[in-house]
Amino acid sequence: MPSCYNAGMVIYDSHPSVTITRQRPPSVAPSGDSAAGRAVPPAIVAGVLPPAMLHEDEIILLLVKPSLWFIVLSSLRFILITVVAAVLAVRLLPEQTNQIAVSATLVVLGRLVWALLVWTSHIYLLTNQRILTIKGVVNVTIYQAHLRKIQRTVLYKPLLERLFGLGTLGFATAATTTFDSTWIMIPRPLQTQEQIVAAVQKLQ
């Protein structure tokens, strides 16, 4: 994720120049439809998130994972390098073509399996209070920020992601060019950003 603005970015600033009247949010958010969307069914939440991570009055409005295309796209450069290296090896050692092909195939499959594990470990959550990012295969990292602290969201859509209808969302809690957390290669990125912005604005 770049640390500066680029083409293909949609930027939301939660602190525009116009004055916004602040109001105290209700202690318990409604579980039905709202400006931020419909609450995620508890059965789905229970399958991916320990109940202890949620506050008593917290409702999950959005549960997102990277697109399955993440497995292929995040491995694409590695696969291309492996294929090129295998082709060069075959030219140098034509008598070992079968062994090289098998080795290259196993290496590519190993990379795809790792990408699958990474995909599985990524969970992105929007609640009526916070944004949470959970990721990590070996060492799990949990990022959380209250919606009142979110000052900027950036939708970054590089060409490869745009071809597959994906995008990466960045969140900043300070007026800087870097991001505290990112939701990478998510499907329907613009709709997701709009839902997050609606949740943030509801607490302004």
**Domain identity same for 144 and 158:** yes
Q: Are residues 33 and 89 in the same domain?
A: no
SS3 label, residue 168? strand
pLDDT at 102: 96
Question: Residue 199 pLDDT > 70, yes or no?
Answer: yes
Q: Say whether both 128 and 192 belong to one domain.
A: yes
Residue 168 has pLDDT above 70, yes or no: yes
Asked whether 77 and 108 are in contact (CB, 8 A), the reply is: no
pLDDT digits (tens, 9 = 90+) for 136-153: 999 989 999 999 999 889
Looking at the fold, whether 62 and 136 belong to one and the same domain comes out as yes
Residue 89: per-residue pLDDT: 95
Domain identity same for 46 and 79: no
Residue 22 covered by a domain: yes
Domain membership of residue 2 (yes or no) is no
Say whether both 62 and 76 belong to one domain. no
The answer to the question of residue 1 being in a domain is no
pLDDT at position 161, please? 94
Q: How far apart are the first and last CA of the chain?
A: 27
Q: Are residues 111 and 134 in the same domain?
A: no
Domain that holds residue 112: 72-116
58 lies in the same domain as 139: yes
Q: Are residues 134 and 181 in the same domain?
A: yes
**Is 29 contained in some domain?**
yes
Of residues 71 and 29, more confidently modeled:
71
Q: Looking at residue 60, what is its pLDDT? A: 86
Assess if residue 4 is contained within a domain: no
pLDDT surpasses 80 at 25: no
Among candidates 129, 128, 115, which has minimal Cα distance to 184? 115
Residues 20 and 98 grouped into a single domain: no
pLDDT tens digits, one per residue of 41-59 = 665 665 666 666 777 778 8
Number of domains, the chain: 2
- According to the 3-state scheme, what is the secondary structure of 187-201? ECHHHHHHHHHHHHH
Establish if 3 belongs to a structural domain. no
Asked whether residue 89 is assigned to any structural domain, the reply reads yes
* Residue 195 in this model has a pLDDT that exceeds 50: yes
Averaged confidence pLDDT in the chain: 81
Same domain for 83 and 53?
no
**Contact (Cβ atoms closer than 8 angstroms) between residue 87 and residue 104:** no
